Amino acid sequence: MRAALKEIFVKELGLKPDDFLDDLTYNSVPEWDSASHMAMILAVEEKFDLALESDDIVSMTSVAKILTILEGKGIAVD
Amino acid sequence: MAPISVRLRNSLRRATMAISIAYYRRYWGMDIGEGCRISHKAILDKSNPRGIHIGRYTGVALNAVILSHDFVRNKHVDTWIGERCHIGACAIIGAGVRVGDGCLVAAGSVVLKDVPDNCIVMGNPARVIEQGLKTGKWGVRVDILSSDRIDPNVLVTDEGKI
């Protein structure tokens, strides 16, 4: 899942692959703003075939939290 | 500095905007707070103009639609928009929706459910994607801009809100 999430971040946010770290947080880099956050959420939903709730979307404020939330939805972190 | 044509256009726009807001209030009876900026191209529902409530210092961008009547259910409802909000271009605020204070409605969003205070909503149907933001007048974000880039005019100082 981590690799797939990294791919989404690189593709949707235009982030450099080396910048994808667990402690990367929302609004800490110019690439990850509200508009790209939504694009990332839509890509995650499509990739993992999920429908995320508003609470989940709002709490996905760092890579680590995204991984935890997705893990809670039964997607294995590899 | 911007070209003279742009400056002229902007000052004319401000002046005519004040006239159009006065017209919305007096002729149509809409409840529009002080200091709002409503684009000339924004569409406010004239079927039930008394159902439109917009808080102070809210900005409404071009082609945004704010509805206050439900044709299919044949009823007039009240639609509330809080203060210091920004309603993006081409957004649609459905009839009977209550948008909280300090909210940003992204361009093209279709808001069908109530929005809590200090949120960004985006998409169709609109979903909350960020909470706890701080906005100045017309929805300028004062929490993520560095202090030297914030125009002091956008800060709402009375009542000590920001």
Beta bridge pairs of residue B38:
B60
- Residue B87 pairs in a beta bridge with B60, B105
Cβ <8 Å between A35 and B122: yes
Average pLDDT score over residue span B59-83: 95
In this prediction, residue B75 has a pLDDT band, given cuts at 50, 70 and 90, of: very high
| Whole-number pLDDT of residue A28 | 87
Four-CA torsion A47, B89, B114, A67, nearest 10 degrees: 20
What is the nearest CA distance from A22 to chain B, expressed in angstroms? 20
**SS3 at position B49:** helix
**Residues of chain A found within 8 Å of residue B115, distances taken between Cβ atoms:** none
Q: Quote the CA–CA distance of B78 and B80 in Å, as a whole number.
A: 6
- Predicted confidence band of residue B16 (pLDDT cuts 50, 70, 90): very high
Chain A residues with CB under 8 Å of B122 CB are 34-35, 38
pLDDT average, residue stretch B52-75: 95
**Chain B nearest CA to A74, separation (Å):** 22
pLDDT score of B161 more than 90: no
Q: Calculate the average pLDDT of chain B.
A: 91
Please give the pLDDT value at position B159: 55
Tell me how far apart the alpha carbons of residues B9 and B4 are, in angstroms, rounded to a whole number.
Answer: 8
Out of A74-78, B61-65, B151-155, give the one with best mean pLDDT.
B61-65
In chain B, % of residues over pLDDT 90: 80
Mean pLDDT of B68-91: 95
Q: What are B89's two structure tokens?
A: 């271009």
| Band of residue B32 on the pLDDT scale cut at 50, 70, 90 | very high
Chain A touched by B144 (CB under 8 Å): yes
Alpha-carbon dihedral sign for residues B123, B99, B104, A56: negative
Structure ipTM: 0.74
